[in-house]
Chains A and B, each alone.
Chain A
Amino acid sequence: MTNNPIRKERFVKWVLVVFALSSLLFLFLIFMFIFFEGLPLFHKVGLKNIILGFKWAPTKGFFGIFPMIVSSFLVTFGALVIGAPMGLSCAIYLSEYSGKKMKMFLKPALELLAGIPSVVYGFLGVVYIVPIVRDHIGGSGFSLLATSIILGIMILPTIISISFDSIMSVPKTYREGSLAMGATKWQTIYKVILPAARSGILASFILGMGRAIGETMAVIMIAGNALKIPSSILDPLRTLTGNIALELAYATGDHRLGLFSTGVVLLVIIMILNYIANFGIKRRT
């Protein structure tokens, strides 16, 4: 090492640059890996037969994952239906209504919610949600409904924290201006604050969707994993992530490649969601 302070600064900067770029490198490697393993099968079987095929029998040469794509979107949408209103309400409460003490209590609780391992959520689902659905609503309990409820809870921290930040970043003067013009607090929230924070709130929903569609462990435990498109919210289903996790342990040959193809589709969907959240919505404002 040198004692020249300018060179020292430069050295520190380059070390940091290298580490910063390494995260990009990992991302790149993951893409390369998934695509190299997954793409050959697309070539062999055909894109259409995979993403629009209904039959998944990988040992017999059928690699249709269309039901899983639909199922993944269904649980994601279901999670949003449950998580979005709850999360947004919570974010509004935290930012506009709660006092300092309540905030100090709720924020760490939410962070804890985000830190709970997904297998624990799955456990909760199996022990409570599934039996409740089975006994009170119908079906086997392992269902789209139960999965949506659990995923809805799991995406709460994402939705709340990002919505909360975007609501808090609405200038105080908007609130004052609206209140001073004789608006009530609630009128101010839905006429001024929520429209002003709209892009951040939408981004939080999309990122929540990204989390829901990628969730695996909890989903396997409560979705029932049946290979068909569910015809009601009480039917079991299998998601893209579930498919990979369930079968990878014993899959060989083309079967294994089929799972990587599933991964490719999943990765593309998540990339699109992230792109929408980061560029489509946030940058527009």
Chain B
Amino acid sequence: MNVTSASPAVGPRPATGPEYAPERDPGGGAAGPPLSRLSDADLDTLLMIRHFELAVLELFSQGKLHGTTHTCLGQEYIPVALYPLLGDGDYVFSNHRGHGHYLARFQDPHGLLAEIMGRDGAVCHGVGGSQHIYRDRYLSTGVQGQSLPVAVGVGLHLKRAEPGRIAVVHIGDGTWGEGAVYEALNMAGLWQVPVLVVVEHNGIAQSTPTERQMAGTVAARAAAFGVGHLRIDSVDVTDVRAALTPVVGQVRDRHQPYVVECVTHRVGPHSKGDDTRPPEVRERAARHDWYRRYRHHHPGQFAAADRAQAEAVAAVVREVGARPASRWEAR
């Protein structure tokens, strides 16, 4: 993909690069049963996030981004499945790996890329960057576990002042090492607060595999607080959404906390160029990647949508990259 940020937009170009190499393996190297056919809208959002994340990594490799980032490659389907079940009045607390959450909620790649690049039109004027974003009722922050007690406070407010609305918190498996998680689950269970904890369990906390950082299970930890738990193994948006629908309804209607554990696969690095997993482990994650599987099972729909989203993101990169620097005025 061409991600030259300083050159003016010259119209859509076909994307190139390894993601578009002809499929040599007719099986696609894809694991698992066929994925269901999605609406064009869902597929477009998935692919927008994918190409956005690839563009961010490419911009870093070109030295055009300052600081750090954490892409959600492989995990895009979780917010895409969940967010149609949420309304504008619901809060979403995102984390360091939050680009997909933001894009699924707002469909705003320009504002997010401007934030990451520190350009005019940035959602938070370039002050927050990749992992500190606040817009409407969406907030991300960079300290693990910190947002759970905050979500309990927000959930208390919603229960009292805006019943029927919920607070969603995205965390990872690594986040379960933080004490704040347990203080929050205890209070959420005790006070029956409408908080939905979505665990994106990708099996690795930065560089440490789950089995070397977690004793017991997420399910048992939720059970210890009398909090409901659902494990979702599928990466099929249709299946995941169907599994989430009754859970979201329960949190909303009964003001009860719930933990949903999405077993997922981090296809890319933790940050950038820092994936120390052995090749066979990375290949196993890649075989579960919804992108590879969907391309294999729905080649016609996929090819056109993929090309369109790649081009759209490339245009965003060119347009935002040509903008002037952002300004921090409200200090």
B partners with A: no
